[in-house]
Structure formats: structure tokens, C-alpha cells
Chain A
Amino acid sequence: MVERVAGSSAGEPPAEELVVVPLRHPWRWVAIAVIALLVAMLVHSLVSNPLWHWDYVRGYFTDTVILKGIWVTIELTVLSMLIGVVLGTILAVMRMSPNPVLSGTAWVYTWFFRGTPVLVQVIFWYSLGLLFHNISIGVPFGPRWHTWDSNTLITGFTAAVLGLGLNEAAYMSEIARAGLLSVGPGQAEAAAALGMGRGLALRRVILPQAMRVIIPPTGNETISMLKTTSIVLYIGLYDLLGAAQSIYSQATFLQVPLLVVASIWYLIMTSVLYVGQYFLEKRFGRGTTRNVPLRPGQRLLLRIRRRDESAVGGA
């Protein structure tokens, strides 16, 4: 209607003869030029500067000391995150419980473990033998059934897992609480109205929905933990970074290539976590969107195909 009036009144050509000129983005080309220049400088340095010592990077990349270090890093990350997630969820549920003793306990736990440095906690667990020479199970203040020597029970590894895991639980509890709070009260009411108890409703209705909110920050924590594990060097454990350090301080005396080795391995492990997180998010995103989200690869393909189509249409 409007087009016809405009066309007829000013004597302009009919609508189908009008040509659409796409918006140009000249600044994008400027940005590309600047970034290309910076990348070129970086690549030039990597290739031409002999101090990177690429031969050492290649030589030590799969060195047994490095591989052992990677294994320690993975073990510590998996075990402490496991403790963190399980205990964190329990703490979050306790914190939201109507029982004031439980919620108070959870609050104090979080306050204490977030309020002291994780390094202090790890060293503390490692030196538990200074405080308790023996550790026993039995009746409190009563008979003991079995007693261990603290120094044999608490090895560097168990101290590291305890320290990292218990610290992580404090952070995870707040993440889990945020997730639980994100599920509207109507869901708990609907579950209750169907005769579901608190535990069943939590397990089947509330937690699966909270997971959507819990997963992204938990991915954050896992990636962070992957690198935080290197503090175990302080109690004499060699993780990936510790292994790299031990090589350059005892054998090669070249820091750069071994730090590059460690960094590449950290990037590889982080990338694997990204993939895992993608599938977890997809699993717990069920029913939240009307159309299924695409995998990153599919998204790229679709974009290229659309561009081709629009190019054909425009010609």
C-alpha cells in the first residue's frame, strides 16, 4: 500500500526494480588488518626466535616425567571435583533445609573453607600428624577398633585430595544453591501436590532442572581446579607444572620450552572438558527450547551454506 503510493506519487520505478545495497562494514577490514599484523609478528617470533627451543618442546612433550605429571593432575582434578560436587550439593541442600542446625552448619562450613587459602588447607591436611599422631575409628570417648599412624594414612596425595576437595565443596555449595534457587517454587509445590516427598521431589524434579544453571559455573570450577592442582608442589607432589619445573631446574635449565609443553597440555585437557560440558548441557537442557541446539560444527556448516545461498540469490 505504502510502496504503491510512494511509487505513483513521485514517479519512481516499481518496487521490484529497486536494488538492495547490503550495509558495508569497512571497520571490519581495518580490524582484520591489525589483527593479521599482530598474528604475523607472533608467528614470526615463534618460527625465527631460536630461544623458544622447539626441539626441546618436541623432545619433552611425551617425556615420562611429564606424562606422570599429567596423570597426577588428572587424578587430583577428578577426585577433588568429585568430592566438591557431591559434598557441595549436600551442603547446598543442608543450607536450604528448614532445620536450623543443618543450615547453620552448612553456612559455617562455607564461611570457613572459603575464608582460608586453599594452600593453607592443603598444607594443614599434610601436617595433620603434628596435631594427631594416630587416627582411630571406634566409639567416641570409648573403645577404639582400629588405629592408624597419621603419617602413613595421610600421604601427600590424600592430603592434596582432601584439601582441594573440601575447599572446592564450599564453592560448589554456593553454585548448587544458586541452581536450586533458580527452580521456581511452583515445581516443588506441583511435586508435593502429587504426593512426592521432599527427597523424591529434589531428586526427580528440582535437581535435574537446577543442573542447567549448575553446569556452566561447575565447568569453570573444573578448569580452574585443573590448574590449581599445581599448588601440590608445596607438599612435594609433582603434577604437570611440577614435572615441567623439575625438568628445567634439574636437567635442561631452559624454562621456556618446558612451560610451553605444560601450557599445550593444559590447553588440550581444557579443550576435552569443553566437549564434555557441551554434551552435559545438551543432556540437561531437554525440554527448555523448542528447537534442538546445533553442535558447533553444524552451526559453521549452516552458516557457510546460508552464505552461499544468499550469494547465489544476490547474483
Chain B
Amino acid sequence: MPDAFTKRPAGQPIVLAEEVHKSFGPVEVLKGINLQVMEGQVLCVIGPSGSGKSTFIRCINHLEKIDSGRLLVDGHLVGYRRVGNKLHEMRESEIAKRREDVGMVFQHFNLFPHMTVLQNLIEAPTKVKKVPKGEATEFARALLERVGLAEKEKAYPAQLSGGQQQRVAIARALCMKPKLMLFDEPTSALDPELVGEVLDVMKGLAADGMTMIVVTHEMGFAREVANELVFMDGGVVVEAGNPRDVLANPQHNRTKAFLSKVL
């Protein structure tokens, strides 16, 4: 395997997490997460279920609110506006504005079932960014072409396979021209034979230099595409580093135990 993806120049940190804590009621799910993702990097997050990896990436676009610590996306604090020494909680509309720059792909696709594929793609650009409909449609068609679904633009989500739906969901997120893409177990709900087509689209994105954070159980993808691999367990980052090193030569016992079960 050539190092096609690992030798990209690292620029500004696009995500910076310092001691991020998050509880759901009495259960502390994140117990101090520290990590950073550079522009153009692909970060894969692995770990057992309940380790907090999904919660963490949901915090990045404020689908969950963190309890303490610092979380910066593209240089801005998530959910707060700093004025002097005070942090003002953001209004719903300001949070929505920040989310425009962060694309998200969900485990269960979450396409809008009452809209066709094309309507799904142009909804946010036309209604949120006020892009003219013709322009949005043109861009959407180019993206559908790219994910290999150009002929499906008039189909409703229910008429597509899981793999096709997830590719549409990726195209939908890309329609907002995000600076960062978050993937929350994008292939976990798919039949094994459909996983490949979604991973191929994601590999293409990585090759184009998209900054990506991917929560995944696909170790092959992590090894091949990620420049950084993070192993989370019990709400903390146990181990991080070059994916090939971590996967082949894990340093911590918990990482070893996890990898021995999944590899």
C-alpha cells in the first residue's frame, strides 16, 4: 500500500478538543477527550460500543452540548461566542450557521423520505444558503454523478438500497460545501456486500483532501485511508497514532484486547 493519503500537508487544526467532558444524567460518557485534527487529515475513531466515540463527534457539530472543557472547530468555540472574558451561549440560529460548514453522515442515513434524491440534495443549499435553484441543481447533479447515482435523482429514498441511500446522504452533506465531514458509523447499518460502495466514495473524498472524522468498525478502511487512528474506551482516548502502527503494534492492553476481537 502506497502512502497516498498519509503524506498530506497538515495546516491549521480544524478540530481541537481539550479535556472535553459530557454526561447523560448520571452517566459520564466523555471523561476528558484531548485530540486535534489538522486541515486535510482523515481521523478514524475506533472503540467498543459505549466508549463515547459517537457522542464525541456529535459534540463537534453541537448535536450534543459538552459539559466542560474546550472544543474548537475551525478556530471557533462550539456553542459559545467569546466577548472579552465572557462566553455567551449561542442562539439556535448562530449554531445552525456554524453547522453549515460541518457535514454529517449518520449510521441510519436519515434521508428525508418525502423528498426525491435531488430534492434531498438541494433542500439545504436553496433554503439555508439561498443558492439559486438552478445553480444548486447543477452542483447536486455533479455530486450524484460522483457518488455514481446520476440516474437516481428522481427516486425516493425508499426505492434505494442501503448503500445507495448512504451515498446520497454523503452527496447531500457535500452539497453544503463543508470544510469538515463527520461520519458516524456510516457502514454499520449496511449489508456486508454494500459496505464497499460507500467506503469507495469516502476514499475518493479523502483523496481529494477533504478533512474527515470517521467513527468506524472498518479496520481495513482505517488502515488504508486514515492518517491518524484514535482508540477510545470508557470515555477517554486510550491510544492514538499512525493507523498501521496502532493496528499492528498496540501499546495498551485495552487496545490489544479490542483489536484481538475485531481483527
Residue from the list B93, B124, B156, B157 in contact with A194, Cβ < 8 A: B124
Assembly CA distance A284 to B108 (angstroms): 22
Decide if A197 touches B93 in the complex (CB within 8 Å). Answer: yes
Contacts of A197 in B (CB 8 A): 92-93, 96
Decide if B110 touches A195 in the complex (CB within 8 Å). Answer: no
Assembly CA distance A195 to B102 (angstroms): 9
Decide if A189 touches B92 in the complex (CB within 8 Å). Answer: no
Decide if A196 touches B127 in the complex (CB within 8 Å). Answer: yes
Residue from the list B110, B128, B158, B173 in contact with A288, Cβ < 8 A: B158
Contact with B along A282-315 (1 / 0, CB 8 A): 0010111110000000000000000000000000
Residue from the list B110, B115, B127 in contact with A189, Cβ < 8 A: B110
Decide if B93 touches A287 in the complex (CB within 8 Å). Answer: no
Q: If the complex has contacts A193-B103, A287-B157, A288-B158, are A187 and B127 also in contact, measured as CB distance less than 8 A?
A: no
Contacts of B172 in A (CB 8 A): 194
Query: Nearest Cβ distance between residue B152 and chain A, in whole angstroms?
Result: 13
Contacts of A289 in B (CB 8 A): 158
Assembly CA distance A200 to B130 (angstroms): 13
Assembly CA distance A198 to B108 (angstroms): 21
Query: Nearest Cβ distance between residue A216 and chain B, in whole angstroms?
Result: 17
Contacts of B159 in A (CB 8 A): 290
Query: Nearest Cβ distance between residue B236 and chain A, in whole angstroms?
Result: 25
Contact with A along B82-119 (1 / 0, CB 8 A): 00000000001100110110111010101111111000
Contacts of B10 in A (CB 8 A): none
> Does any Cβ of A come within 8 Å of B63's Cβ?
yes
Given contact pairs A186-B106, A194-B176, enumerate 13 new A-B contacts (beta carbons under 8 Å).
A186-B108, A187-B112, A190-B112, A192-B63, A193-B63, A193-B99, A193-B102, A193-B104, A194-B172, A194-B173, A208-B114, A287-B116, A290-B159
Assembly CA distance A98 to B32 (angstroms): 28
Contacts of A191 in B (CB 8 A): 112
Contacts of A209 in B (CB 8 A): 112-114
Decide if A196 touches B158 in the complex (CB within 8 Å). Answer: no
> Does any Cβ of A come within 8 Å of B123's Cβ?
yes
> Does any Cβ of B come within 8 Å of A247's Cβ?
no
> Does any Cβ of B come within 8 Å of A237's Cβ?
no
Contacts of A195 in B (CB 8 A): 96-97, 99-100, 124, 128-129, 176
Query: Nearest Cβ distance between residue A282 and chain B, in whole angstroms?
Result: 12
Majority secondary structure of chain A interface residues (helix, strand, loop or mixed)? helix
| A187, A197, A286: most-surrounded residue (chain B CB, <10 A) | A197
Closest to A185 in B: B110
Contacts of B63 in A (CB 8 A): 189, 192-193
Q: If the complex has contacts A186-B106, A287-B114, are A194 and B158 also in contact, measured as CB distance less than 8 A?
A: no
Decide if B108 touches A286 in the complex (CB within 8 Å). Answer: no
Count of chain B residues with Cβ under 8 Å from any Cβ of A? Answer: 32
Decide if B128 touches A200 in the complex (CB within 8 Å). Answer: yes
Contacts of B108 in A (CB 8 A): 186
> Does any Cβ of B come within 8 Å of A256's Cβ?
no
> Does any Cβ of B come within 8 Å of A58's Cβ?
no
Closest to B105 in A: A193
> Does any Cβ of A come within 8 Å of B61's Cβ?
yes
Assembly CA distance A156 to B99 (angstroms): 53
> Does any Cβ of B come within 8 Å of A204's Cβ?
yes
Decide if B113 touches A196 in the complex (CB within 8 Å). Answer: no
Assembly CA distance A123 to B184 (angstroms): 58
Decide if B92 touches A194 in the complex (CB within 8 Å). Answer: no
Assembly CA distance A187 to B112 (angstroms): 7
Decide if A194 touches B114 in the complex (CB within 8 Å). Answer: no
Contact with A along B119-145 (1 / 0, CB 8 A): 000011001110000000000000000
Decide if B114 touches A189 in the complex (CB within 8 Å). Answer: no
Considering only residues 148-177 of chain B, those with a C-beta below 8 Å from chain A are: 156-159, 172-173, 176
Decide if B97 touches A194 in the complex (CB within 8 Å). Answer: no
Decide if A287 touches B96 in the complex (CB within 8 Å). Answer: no
Closest to A286 in B: B114
Assembly CA distance A187 to B156 (angstroms): 15
Residue from the list B97, B110, B128, B158 in contact with A190, Cβ < 8 A: B110
Query: Nearest Cβ distance between residue A289 and chain B, in whole angstroms?
Result: 7
Contact with B along A263-296 (1 / 0, CB 8 A): 0000000000000000000001011111000000
Residue from the list A187, A198, A208, A290 in contact with B110, Cβ < 8 A: A187
Contacts of B157 in A (CB 8 A): 287
Assembly CA distance A218 to B176 (angstroms): 37
Residue from the list B110, B115, B124, B127 in contact with A287, Cβ < 8 A: B115
Residue from the list A193, A196, A205 in contact with B61, Cβ < 8 A: A193
Residue from the list B103, B104, B128 in contact with A196, Cβ < 8 A: B128
Decide if A287 touches B113 in the complex (CB within 8 Å). Answer: yes
Decide if B158 touches A287 in the complex (CB within 8 Å). Answer: yes
Assembly CA distance A191 to B61 (angstroms): 12
Contact with A along B60-88 (1 / 0, CB 8 A): 01010000000000000000000000000
Residue from the list A189, A196, A286 in contact with B124, Cβ < 8 A: A196
Contacts of B158 in A (CB 8 A): 287-290
Assembly CA distance A286 to B157 (angstroms): 11
